[in-house]
Structure 1
Amino acid sequence: MPLWKIYHPVNAFSDVDKKGIAQAITSVYQNFMPRFYVGVTFQEVSESNIYIGGEPHSEFIRISIDHIARTFQSVDLKITFFNRINTLLEPWIESRGYDWEMHVDETPFDLWTIQGHFPPQEGTPDERRWMEENRASARTHA
């Protein structure tokens, strides 16, 4: 799964913005994994609760991304991913004048379950079924 945690100033994003951001993020992954793997959480942070360099920073957005379903296989893929994300988020973040930072953590695939099921391996019939049904279910293949 990719789980995105977006820490942002209070009222930085409307509900429409949040849905647009979540849909845009999901579009990055939907061609090679089930859409329901993608989680996006928004956490408002009040002005007195975000400090950068020891000073309050009311116009800062921090994005933390956990990747489990897939990991980057090369430096080129990492660069491509970050460039795509920077472009994708630009209308909501950079163009609105926010400073921002993000990182990706990669967790081993075998340390993850979803709805109590161990996810199928990439490219397997079970994964294709999960993509088509957009939900987790018992695996039918090893």
Structure 2
Amino acid sequence: MPLHRIYSPVGTLSSEEKALIAKNLTAVYVERGLPPFYVDVVFLDIPKDSFYVGGEQRTIVRVVSQHLARTTPKELYQAILDRVEGAFAPLFRERGLEWEFHIEQHERELWRIQGFNPPPSGSEGEKLWREKNRAVPYE
């Protein structure tokens, strides 16, 4: 499950921009075979007087992504950074916004959805979850 937390000063991103970013991020993972419901995108609007970079108030967007469903091999780090960042960077660049972004990877074995351990990658169980777009019992 990729979880993306996007921090920005209040009013930096419109509802439409947030929806577009969420759609773009979801597409990155669906293209890699994950069920759409694995992808969580949370926008955290921070009061402008509570967002500092280098000790100064600044309008910047901070994206923190966590990967649980898949672990990216080291040789593909740059490729996944490019794919994920590509879901939001064009919009930020067009708007003249500054951003910072990183991905954290966690062990799949320490993750559950609705009390279920996720089915193995590429398995029939994962195909069922993708088809249903939610966690359901599988064998």
Q: Which of the five TM-score ranges fits, normalised by the shorter chain?
A: over 0.9
Runs of at least 5 residues in structure 2 that lack an aligned partner in the other structure: none
**Alpha-carbon distance between aligned partners in 2 of 1:123 and 1:35, rounded to the nearest angstrom:** 14
* Letter aligned with residue 66 of structure 2: D
| Alignment: residue pair count | 138
* Residue 70 of structure 1: how far off its partner (Å): 0.5
The reply to whether residue 50 of structure 1 matches residue 51 of structure 2 is yes
SS in 1 for 2:87: helix
Equivalent in the alignment of 2:127 = 128
Q: Look up the equivalent residue of 1:43 and give its one-letter code.
A: L
Q: Distance in 2 between matches of 1:12 and 1:70?
A: 31
Structure 1 residue matching 2:91: 3-state secondary structure: coil
Of 64-73 and 88-97, the range deviating more from structure 2 = 88-97
Which consecutive aligned stretches of 4+ in structure 1 deviate over 6 angstroms post-superposition? none
Preserved CA contact (<8 Å) 2:8 2:46: yes
Provide Cα deviations, 1:80-108, integer angstroms capped at 9, x if missing partner. Answer: 12222333313321221111111111110
CA RMSD in angstroms, aligned pairs only: 1.2
Q: Which runs of 5+ in 1 are unaligned?
A: none
Percent identical among aligned pairs is 37
SS at the partner of 2:127? helix
Give the secondary structure class of the aligned counterpart of 2:65. Answer: strand
Give the aligned residue type for 1:6: I
TM-score by length of 2: 0.93
What residue is the counterpart of 1:80 in the other structure? 79
Task: Tell me which moved more, 102-111 or 81-90.
Answer: 81-90
Q: CA deviation at 1:55?
A: 1.2
The TM-score, its normalising length taken from structure 1, stands at: 0.92
Report SS of the residue matched to 1:102.
strand
Name the aligned partner's letter for residue 62 of structure 1. Answer: R
1:12 Cα deviation after fit = 1.4
